[in-house]
A = this chain, B = another copy of it.
Amino acid sequence: MNIVRPVTPRGRYHHGDLANALTTAATQLARDGGPEAVVLREAARSVGVSATAAYRHFAGHGDLMHAVKECAQGALADRMRAELAASPADPDPRREAVRRLEAIGMGYIGFALDEPGLFRTAFCRADKGFEEAAASMANSPAFQLLGEALDALAETGLLPAERRPHAELFAWSSTHGLAMLLLDGPLSELPGPDRELVIARTLQGVLDGLIGLTDHSGLD
């Protein structure tokens, strides 16, 4: 799994794509053990290269970590998109907007549960310059996906215009918090069925919090 190629194609001294190989290896470490497991020397080892070689491609550990974090954030966004594509679009615009929001939320939670190591890494504070990164998360693909879904919801009128501002933050907070509590908090040992229920209940609460009422005429 960690071995990228047994023998590199071009002469085995120059790797050819070491930056990517290291990022991939380090991301695998994060997948298996979370952000703390991302160790520069270990990544180099698993690629079959000296630790020093990494310094040709990364400024240091923090820089490698940053690359891994971006990978993890990308994987999260991929999962959300996949979940979005997994169910067919609904012809009714309102139901479609709701479906999108639910799919996005389920993708987020699903990723956290299936890839806890990567999920934690995506939100860790161990990388170089994580403060600017945190601020720029508002421009991340995952966040934009959410913004678009909320726009769609607003267009149908389900989300009143005056509640549109900051709506992504409420939706994100709730979903993110649920993921955290499922991973590290009191929900971590919940049996499967209960877990499903809690997730459904919470995502329903998010939707209610957005649109204001539980029952909407013609919905469901």
**A123: chain B residues within 8 A (beta carbon):** 180, 184-185
The 3 closest A-B pairs by CB, nearest first: A177-B177, A209-B209, A205-B209
From known contacts A177-B178, A209-B206, A212-B214, infer whether A201 and B169 are also in contact, taking CB-CB under 8 Å.
yes
Contact with B along A175-202 (1 / 0, CB 8 A): 1111111001111110000000110011
A208–B170 CA distance with the chains assembled, in angstroms: 11
Most interface-central of A138, A167, A197, A209 (chain B CB within 10 A): A209
> CB < 8 Å: which of B202, B207, B210 contacts A169?
B202
From known contacts A180-B180, A209-B205, A212-B214, infer whether A174 and B170 are also in contact, taking CB-CB under 8 Å.
yes
> CB < 8 Å: which of B176, B188, B207 contacts A177?
B176
Taken together, the copies of this chain in the complex come to 2
**A207: chain B residues within 8 A (beta carbon):** 209
* A145 CB → nearest B CB, Å: 14
**Does A137 make an interface contact (CB < 8 A)?**
yes
Task: Report yes or no: B134 in contact with A174, Cβ–Cβ below 8 A.
Answer: no
A 158-179 contacts with B by CB, 8 A: 163, 165-167, 169-170, 172-179
A28–B173 CA distance with the chains assembled, in angstroms: 29
From known contacts A209-B208, A212-B208, A212-B213, infer whether A169 and B184 are also in contact, taking CB-CB under 8 Å.
no
A 102-131 contacts with B by CB, 8 A: 123, 125, 130-131
Give the interface SS of chain A, mostly helix, strand, loop or mixed.
Answer: helix
A121–B123 CA distance with the chains assembled, in angstroms: 16
**Does A219 make an interface contact (CB < 8 A)?**
no
**Does A143 make an interface contact (CB < 8 A)?**
yes
**A185: chain B residues within 8 A (beta carbon):** 123, 134, 137, 176
* A123 CB → nearest B CB, Å: 6
**Does A1 make an interface contact (CB < 8 A)?**
no
A135–B170 CA distance with the chains assembled, in angstroms: 26
Task: Report yes or no: B197 in contact with A138, Cβ–Cβ below 8 A.
Answer: no
From known contacts A189-B131, A201-B165, A205-B209, infer whether A181 and B174 are also in contact, taking CB-CB under 8 Å.
no
